Amino acid sequence: MSLLPESFREELRKLAFLSTGESSPNPPVSCLITNVENTKIFAQGRTSPTGGPHAERNAYSEFLKNGYSDTPHNVWVTLEPCSHYGKTPPCLDLILEYRPKTLYYGWKDPNPLVQTKDGLEECLRQGIKVVQDRTLEEIAKESLFGFASRLETQTPSMIFKTAVSKEGFYASSDKRRTQLSGKLTSYYTSLLRAKCDAVLVGPGTLFYDIPGLDFRFPKMETWEPRKNLTKEFSKTEGILLQEFRENFFGAPALLKNILKLGMDSDIQRIHGVFENAYQPYRVFILFEEKNVTAEFLEKQRAINERLGSQKCVFLVKKDTILKEETKEELRSLSEKELFFVDTMMLAEETLKILSEIGVNILLVEGGNLLYEKFQSKMKADDVILKIQTPTSIQEGIKPKLRMNDSTLLWKSKLEEDIWEVHTCLRDL
Looking at the structure, do residues 132 and 208 belong to the same domain, yes or no? no
Q: For 38, which DSSP code?
A: S
Is the confidence at residue 282, as pLDDT, over 90? yes
Could you tell me where the beta strands, DSSP code E, fall in 137-197? 157-164, 171-172
Q: Identify whether residues 98 and 198 lie together within a single domain.
A: no
Final residue belonging to a domain, choices 91, 117, 143? 143
Among the listed residues 304, 306, 300, 305, the one whose alpha carbon sits nearest the alpha carbon of residue 284: 300
- The mean predicted confidence, pLDDT, of the chain is 90
Query: How many Cα atoms are found within 13 Å in the side-chain-facing hemisphere of 88?
Result: 20
366 & 290 share domain: yes
Is 33 a member of any domain? yes
Of the three residues 143, 167, 191, the one that is the final residue of a domain is: 143
Tell me what the mean pLDDT of segment 151-172 comes to: 95
State whether 164 and 92 are in the same domain: no
CA distances from 115 to 94, 153, 268, 369, 400 (A): 18, 17, 37, 39, 41
User: pLDDT higher for 252 or 174?
Assistant: 252
216-274 confidence digits (pLDDT tens)? 987 654 444 444 444 443 333 443 454 444 457 899 999 999 999 999 999 999 999 99
Confidence tier at 366 by pLDDT (50, 70, 90): confident
- The C-alpha atoms of residue 348 and residue 225 are separated, in whole angstroms, by 40
Whether the Cβ atoms of residue 205 and residue 365 lie closer than 8 Å to each other: yes
Based on the fold, state whether residues 129 and 221 are members of the same structural domain.
no
The strand pairing partners of 113, in sequence order, are none
Shared-domain flag, residues 183 and 273 = yes
> Which of 97, 115, 143 corresponds to the end of one domain?
143
Claim to verify: residue 229 and residue 112 sit in the same structural domain: no
Q: What positions carry a catalytic annotation?
A: 56
Residues 202 and 182 in one domain: yes
CA 115 – CA 20 distance, rounded (Å) = 23
Domain-located, residue 389: yes
Of the given ranges (260-269, 282-291, 419-428), which has the lowest mean pLDDT? 419-428
320 with 235, same domain: the answer is yes
Q: Report the relative pairing of strands 198-201 and 281-286 from DSSP bridges.
A: parallel
Which of these ranges, 74-83, 133-142, 228-237, 262-271, has the smallest mean pLDDT?
228-237
CATH of the domain at 325: 3.40.430.10
Query: What is the reported pLDDT for 118?
Result: 82
Please report whether residue 428 resides in a domain: no
Domain with 325, as residue range(s), is 154-422
Q: Which of 210, 214, 200, 180 is nearest to 367 (CA)?
A: 200
Q: Which of 184, 178, 195 is nearest to 142 (CA)?
A: 195
Structure confidence by residue, pLDDT tens digits, 293-324: 999 999 999 999 999 999 999 999 999 999 99
Number of domains making up the chain? 2
Cis ω before 367 (30° cut-off from 0): yes
355 in a domain, yes or no? Answer: yes
Verify that 125 and 175 share a domain, yes or no. Answer: no
- 162 and 88 share one domain: no
**162 and 117 in a common domain:** no
In a domain, 427, yes or no: no
Q: CA 177 to CA 105: how far, in whole Å?
A: 47
User: Could you give the CA distance from residue 428 to residue 425 in angstroms, rounded to a whole number?
Assistant: 9
Distances (CA, A) of 32 to 77, 258, 323: 7, 22, 54
CATH label of the domain that carries residue 105: 3.40.140.10
User: Does any domain span residue 242?
Assistant: yes
Mean pLDDT value of segment 36-43: 96
Residue 148 lies in a domain: no
Provide the whole-model pTM. 0.92
* Residue 62 within a domain: yes
pLDDT in tens, 318-343: 999 999 999 999 999 999 999 999 99
